[in-house]
Chains A and B, each alone.
Chain A
Amino acid sequence: MRHIISILIENEAGALSRVAGLFSARGYNIESLTVAPTEDVSLSRMTLVTSGSEQIVEQITKQLNKLIDVIKLLDITEGAHIEREMMLIKVKADRGHRDEVSRLVDIFRGRIIDVTDVSFIVEMTGSPSKLDAFINAVHEDLVVEVVRTGPCGIARGSKGLTL
């Protein structure tokens, strides 16, 4: 099963490599990992997407909690949650394809943020599956470059993952 783990961690040099090292040393799988400082600059928030059996995911959360720099974590897939990923995608858009591409962008509620005679850059946010669907909808030959952030996520409701 796929799990999204939100982690509050000390914003210190090396904190990221402790998390990444844990996954490689113990042979856990990381699908994506995003990190950025929070409103409190001494804290970073990570969103880590992993998958495995219940037993493995239980070990993953225990091992993460055991890292001295980790302050709190939450497997947000245990409850209702929202996840979003951003993508920048450069597509070929010469005269023959411009209309088709911009129609697709509209349907997916993306934005064209850069234009040349032969290409667009499209910005799009949404669930990872929506971004996948957009990529699939654009003809394969038209895709020049794809950059995705990996998902970040938050639990629904009034409670926050804070100190």
Chain B
Amino acid sequence: MELSGAEIVVQYLRDEGVEYVFGYPGGAVLHIYDALFNQDDVKHILVRHEQAAAHAADGYARATGRPGVALVTSGPGATNAVTGIATAYMDSIPLVVLTGQVASPFIGSDAFQEVDTVGITRPCVKHNFLIKRREDIAETFKKAFYIATSGRPGPVVVDIPKDITDPNVRIPYAYPSKIKMRSYNPVAKGHLGQIKKAVEMMLSAKRPVVYTGGGVIIGDAADELTRLIHATGFPITSTLMGLGGFPASDRQFLGMLGMHGTYEANMAMHDTDVLVAIGARFDDRVTGHVAHFCPNAKIIHVDIDPSSISKNVKVHVPIVGPVQKVLKDMVKVVKETRQQPEEGALKAWWEQIEQWRAMDCLRYDRQSSKIKPQFAVETLYKVTGGDAYVCSDVGQHQMFAAQFYGFDKPRRWINSGGLGTMGFGLPSAMGVKMAFPEQEVALVTGEASIQMCIQELATCKQHDLPIKIILLNNGYMGMVRQWQEFFYDRRYSNSYVDALPDFVKLSESFGHVGMRVERPEDLEGAMREAFAIKDRLVFLDVIVDPEENVYPMIEAGKGHHEMYLSPASELV
């Protein structure tokens, strides 16, 4: 088959089985856009800002486990995409981002819309390429998809100079069925000796805790994890990124840990003697001050990336390998060994944990005449039967969604944890809805965050994406205000979101349905009405208590046992 460079780009994507490309055209990619025009296999979703192209591809990837693909032009197209690329990088999400570049002879001459895309993105990609010859397109793409999706996944940028996609020069093309890279060989399994050592340590624990993270979701290991937890009877807590890796409705689940984690999860972390970390990276939002982190514990850590191990906290039994395979092996060893768990100690440990749990740390004022954001998320759970894909932006609403929407399945909770990118929510929800048009996709957002990518309401209209937007409108950058309340003596410097648009009219002007709720008693009815509208995007502006705070909270730099608790909880 003889194809032009642009045709090779598109044909490769077809051969790779790519369903959707999220993108925005411009000079340097026009040849590729022309090649896209002539086929229907790869569907192009026209966003309204390149940041959204990357986030939408990212949302698609998080929900499906398949790589998300974005296509943007050179210069400003590429720089606009950088926030989205960095967001995916921090959360280890597989993306392939195709960026146009000025024609090869112009590179380095400050040509029109030239930026050093490879240089700018280098610190926030797993790898990047600048294609030099059209003969290299197919092989480079193969490498890009392979690198993005294997090992610890991440975004890969492929920068393509315009001359290489010239429609007038044709060369033979074949889909490269195999790829070999001598410099890149992700591990396939964990060391069995280490796994046995870990199991031995686990079964002799008196106060064990399993702490799981995004690696369980990324590595598709929810079933294996659930088996291990049930086989051992251990308590389990999860990071923000690991929610849904183990069913939240299961008694063994202690809720999220860390800065806004539950009392029982954080207290258990503080008192544990054997910590089993699985696909989690000891982030500072989770550990607090490392000197106070799990002061009495021996630590086992399963991670595919050796550089995650002993990075922030020294680990005693490292296991490098893919979490699915390692957990399979662990379950096997647990079942085969003659060693029994410390039943008596475990029972006492659970009694202690139940005492902590009885404090009901997530309690909030249910009698309030204002809509509490927690109540709004609980209502969302009720209305969607706990089975929606829930996307979120960044702020208090994100924490409320994480705490109050009990995720029972993996890949249902889509949020930016590592970079904490406001503006992620709406475009990521578009990616999820493209992937699962028959499923309910809800976006829980804030009035500040939603305005960062609000233009995507047009994309939702054009591509018929009936997302349900639940805006927890507190009129503040609530998360910022909360810190100012606690740590800056209530000096609310620039955290008030003044001059808000009328979100109902705004969404109507984009051709969507807008609704507003102001009283708790109207909320459930409004949500049911919103979700009953199957074929249209509904934007539900929920006016919530402007000064509600997220509890519990561990101040940055403090230990797990030093939590601020809600004035509504039993403890104060």
Interface residues of A (CB under 8 A from B): 9-10, 13-14, 17-18, 21, 25, 55, 58-59, 62-63, 65-66, 68-71, 163
Contacts and interface: CB of A to CB of B under 8 A. Distances in A.
Contact of B130 (A9, A14, A18, A65): A14
Given A58-B310, A66-B307, A71 B122 contact: no
A65 B184 CA distance: 9
Given A14-B118, A21-B122, A21-B123, A59 B183 contact: no
Contacts of B306: 62, 65-66
B311 interface: yes
Contacts of B310: 55, 58
A55 B307 CA distance: 11
Range of interface residues on B (Cβ < 8 Å): 10 to 19
A66 B151 CA distance: 10
Interface of B: 118-119, 122-123, 126-127, 130, 147, 181-184, 305-307, 310-311, 314
A71 B183 contact: yes
A21 B128 CA distance: 14
Contact of A68 (B118, B119, B184): B184
B123 A25 contact: yes
Sorted from nearest, which 7 A-B pairs have the closest CB atoms? A62-B307, A71-B183, A68-B127, A25-B123, A62-B306, A68-B184, A63-B307
B119 A17 contact: yes
Given A17-B119, A25-B123, A66 B182 contact: no
A5 to B, nearest CB: 15
Central interface residue in A65, A68, A71, by most chain B CB within 10 Å: A68
A68 B183 contact: yes
B127 A66 contact: no
A70 B122 contact: no
Contacts of B147: 68
Contacts of B123: 21, 25
A63 B309 CA distance: 11
Contacts of A63: 307
A150 B147 CA distance: 34
B307 A59 contact: yes
Contact of A163 (B119, B122, B182, B314): B182
Contact of B183 (A10, A14, A55, A62): A10
B128 to A, nearest CB: 8
A18 B183 CA distance: 14
Contacts of B181: 68
A62 B118 CA distance: 23
11 contacts: A9-B183, A13-B130, A14-B130, A17-B122, A18-B122, A21-B123, A59-B307, A62-B307, A68-B181, A68-B183, A68-B184
Nearest to B125: A68
Contacts of A65: 306-307
Contacts of A66: 305-307
A71 B307 contact: no
A66 B184 CA distance: 8
Contacts of A62: 306-307
Central interface residue in B147, B306, B310, by most chain A CB within 10 Å: B306
Contacts of A163: 182
Contacts of B130: 13-14
B86 to A, nearest CB: 12
Nearest to B127: A68
A69 B119 CA distance: 15
Contacts of A21: 122-123
A59 B282 CA distance: 15
Given A55-B310, A58-B310, 8 more contacts: A14-B122, A17-B119, A25-B123, A62-B306, A66-B305, A68-B126, A68-B183, A163-B182
Nearest to A63: B307
Contacts of B122: 14, 17-18, 21
Nearest to A58: B310
Contacts of A13: 130
A13 B184 CA distance: 18
A38 to B, nearest CB: 14
B142 to A, nearest CB: 14
Contacts of B305: 66
